[in-house]
């Protein structure tokens, strides 16, 4: 059986690769995993993002849980971090979110949390996959009073809101435009920012999910940039479908990704003695200028494997409090058990209020090496392996950099996308190199498509 889990849960096209049959088995596998782990009936908190297939897959997953004797606390549409928080806050045995995060509308997925609100480990996922593959390892099938029940928790969200706003000063009318990606943050983020005192204009805030991530959100920040073009002095906040990412736009229209946020938060944490071992954690694809700049502030940068779950495990293993990815996942471990785009935004705006600095001034604590990133969607994950011409082109472009930059070409671990990123002495050179490789990739995709059509 092919692996179900990637670097961040399960992902696939909803009702196709990821159909109700598979998700029901996963629900029963989770129930089986929890059986015997508690003296009372297990409880799982379940939330979802509002994309079209979520109703279908959520129903199947909950059916699997209840079939295995697990009670379900239905949190409704909620950001992923909200489910992680409620899992721990309500004393549940696990948490689950039906979401494909920043993936296209057609995709869906499943993210799982343990009783402490941390994402399931690799070991947990291996056990679940074994349960799905082998019916003898799945959950019991109780009857009568032993069947799990579904209990709504309409007031639980208020506990999450209180958690978000804890220690947040008044934002004093700070003007902000919020791009909700037409996803889970639409039901919560604008209201939370207003409650904190910001002057909020919301866009892409259709909570039906019918346009989730379509040309908007953290993976399409150019939409927010255009919307802010004639609004000087305002900042922008872009979330993705399940609001675990944040991409910000400063007062001058400059994009601030996860590396910017890590730099800002690290300097602030160190100044307040809240940065254990004077270290933050990120991944190898984060701009190399971060480590160089942080050294000037007496801060070390540790590297984990790619994926916010890997960042988290490294933080837990070594006792760090701050980590994240360049793509906008930021983990403030002293405040949350997973990446939370809304919490990151509140922390950014709180810093602006406390220090009296603009977002652009806060981001000046580090200097980025000129870079360019292009994503190319491909038909399957094997395209790079069967494209020697592209491998030769990548080698040639690395030689061209002559040690004064770096070029990374890799397949995304969560969607069929090749990520091409380049750092160079000049942004123009980085853009030229990434576009040359991206063009070769697109040509290869067109070539394979034509060959398939002929056959």
Tell me the torsion sign for CA atoms 68, 74, 77, 83.
negative
As given in the structure block, the two tokens for residue 138 are 């799945």
Alpha carbon distance, N-terminus to C-terminus of the chain: 28
Region of 319 on the Ramachandran plot (φ > 0 left; ψ -120 to 50 alpha; else beta): left
Helix, strand, coil percentages (3-state) for the chain, rounded to 5, are: 40, 20, 40
Largest distance between two CA atoms of the chain: 70
Catalytic residue among 67, 101, 387, 421: 101
Q: How far apart are CA 404 and CA 329, in angstroms?
A: 28
- The tokens for 418 are 């090749």
From the CB of residue 179, how many other CB atoms can be counted at a distance below 10 Å? 30
Output the six-digit token pair for 290.
Answer: 């971060």
Indicate if 101 belongs to the active site: yes
Task: Tell me how far apart the alpha carbons of residues 413 and 11 are, in angstroms, rounded to a whole number.
Answer: 10
Structure tokens at 329: 């996942």
Tell me, rounded to whole angstroms, the distance of Cα 151 from its chain centroid: 27
Q: Which residues are catalytic?
A: 101
């Amino acid at each position: 059986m092919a692996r179900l889990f990637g670097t961040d849960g399960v992902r696939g096209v909803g009702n196709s690769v990821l159909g109700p049959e598979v998700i029901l088995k996963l629900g029963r596998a989770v129930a089986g995993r929890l059986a015997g782990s508690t003296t009372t009936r297990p409880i799982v908190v379940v939330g979802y993002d509002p994309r079209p297939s979520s109703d279908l897959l959520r129903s199947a997953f909950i059916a699997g849980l209840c079939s295995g004797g697990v009670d379900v606390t239905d949190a409704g549409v909620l950001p992923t971090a909200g489910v992680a928080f409620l899992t721990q806050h309500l004393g549940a045995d696990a948490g689950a979110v039906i979401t494909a995060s920043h993936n296209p509308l057609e995709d869906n997925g499943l993210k799982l949390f343990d009783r402490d609100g941390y994402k399931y480990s690799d070991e947990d996922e291996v056990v679940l996959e074994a349960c799905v593959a082998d019916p003898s390892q799945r959950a019991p099938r109780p009857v009568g009073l032993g069947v799990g029940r579904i209990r709504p928790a309409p007031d639980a969200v208020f506990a999450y809101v209180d958690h978000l706003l804890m220690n947040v000063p008044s934002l004093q009318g700070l003007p902000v435009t919020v791009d909700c990606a037409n996803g889970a943050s639409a039901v919560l983020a604008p209201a939370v920012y207003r409650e904190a005192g910001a002057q909020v204009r919301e866009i892409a805030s259709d909570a039906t999910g019918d346009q989730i991530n379509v040309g908007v959100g953290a993976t399409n920040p150019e939409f927010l940039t255009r919307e802010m073009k004639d609004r000087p002095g305002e900042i922008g906040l872009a979330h993705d479908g399940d609001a675990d990412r944040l991409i910000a736009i400063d007062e001058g229209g400059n994009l601030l990704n996860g590396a910017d946020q890590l730099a800002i938060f690290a300097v602030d944490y160190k100044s307040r003695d809240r940065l254990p071992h004077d270290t933050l954690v990120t991944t190898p694809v984060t701009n190399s200028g971060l480590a160089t700049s942080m050294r000037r502030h007496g801060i070390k940068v540790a590297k984990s494997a790619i994926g916010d779950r890997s960042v988290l495990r490294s933080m837990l293993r070594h006792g760090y409090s701050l980590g994240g990815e360049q793509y906008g996942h930021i983990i403030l471990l002293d405040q949350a058990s997973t990446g939370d785009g809304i919490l990151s935004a509140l922390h950014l705006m709180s810093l602006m209020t406390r220090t009296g600095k603009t977002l652009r001034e806060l981001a000046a604590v580090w200097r980025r090496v000129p870079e360019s990133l292009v994503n190319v969607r491909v038909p399957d994950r094997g395209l790079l392996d069967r494209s020697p011409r592209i491998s030769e082109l990548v080698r040639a472009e690395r030689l061209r950099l002559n040690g004064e930059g770096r070029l990374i070409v890799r397949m995304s671990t969560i969607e069929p996308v090749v990520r091409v990123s380049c750092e160079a002495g000049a942004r123009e050179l980085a853009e030229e190199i990434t576009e040359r490789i991206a063009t070769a990739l697109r040509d290869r995709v067109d070539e394979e498509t034509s060959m398939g059509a002929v056959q």
